[in-house]
Amino acid sequence: MDFSGALAIIGWFIAEERKNPALVFTPNAEILVKAHDDAEFGRVLKNADLVVPDGTSLLWASKVLKRPLETRVTGIDLMQRLLTEAENAGWSVYFLGAKPDVIVEAAARVKHLHPGLKLVGYHHGYFDDDFSVIEGINKLRPDILFVGMGAPKQELWLTRNREELNCRVALGVGGSFDVLSGRVDRAPLWMQKKGLEWLYRYIREPSRLKRSILLPRFVRLVLKEKFGTSKGETTQ
């Protein structure tokens, strides 16, 4: 599936008369390792209405397992394309997540870039009272709810509150609000095209390096799936 296919499916979700929102998640290799280790999180991803691959590692895995994926569909790129689509189609959107100042800046920049977009509201991701936040969202009845709390928090939150949310589609978008606010730069275009955004993030944010230990585990899990595990071997 490519971006066009993902956008078409999301558009279909919006056109449906759905009782509860369709859930769209964009996992990368790190997230899939977490889902392997956490049974509840694994079930959440499996039960999503649409899951698209965010990362070149997933494309590699799909080739190894002979279930090739067409292209990676990054969360930030999908969100940006959806914002353009929403502006053109008249869909309303709501932003939930990030720090208070970041979400304000992200909303302001998006409004500037998409003057015709129906951005009906936004709220930061630092709250303890789900009820009041959900009540605020439901009063505005957005077509699309973008939730950027990081994985697995955003996926678990959306799944837990799915029955209460009054919107057509809800997407987990990770740190996309940091990018949209201008606080975090994306990798140069040539690095994006080469699938090297992960390297750029590690260079710019060395604190992320500790998460890189999940990547060798992802490789081992993929090879285990393909070849099986020898006696006594573990995936930990």
Q: Which helix (H) or strand (E) holds 81?
A: helix 75-89
Q: Are 99 and 173 in contact (CB under 8 A)?
A: no
Distance between CA atoms of residues 120 and 73, nearest Å:
26
* Domain with 198 in it: 19-221
67 found inside a domain: yes
55 found inside a domain: yes
pLDDT at 62: 94
229 found inside a domain: no
235 found inside a domain: no
**pTM (predicted TM-score):** 0.89
SS3 content of the chain, % helix, strand, coil (to 5): 55, 10, 35
Closest CA to 77 of 6, 152, 159, 133: 6
Helix axes 29-37, 56-64, angle to 10 degrees: 70
Distance between CA atoms of residues 27 and 16, nearest Å:
25
pLDDT at 192: 80
Tell me how many domains the chain contains.
Answer: 1
Instruction: Report phi then psi at 72, rounded to 5.
Output: -80, 145
- CATH classification at residue 48: 3.40.50
Give 107's contacts (C-beta < 8 A, 6+ positions apart). Answer: 95, 119, 122
Per-residue pLDDT of the chain (236 residues; tens, 9 = 90+): 899 999 999 999 999 978 899 999 999 999 999 999 999 999 999 999 999 999 889 999 999 999 988 899 999 999 999 999 999 999 999 999 999 999 999 999 999 999 999 999 999 999 999 999 999 999 999 999 999 999 999 999 999 999 999 999 999 999 999 999 999 887 788 888 777 777 777 777 776 666 677 888 999 999 999 998 544 444 44
158 found inside a domain: yes
For 38-41, which contacts have Cβ atoms below 8 Å and span 24 or more sequence positions? Answer: 38/152, 40/156, 41/152, 41/155, 41/156
61 found inside a domain: yes
102 found inside a domain: yes
Distance between CA atoms of residues 144 and 205, nearest Å:
30
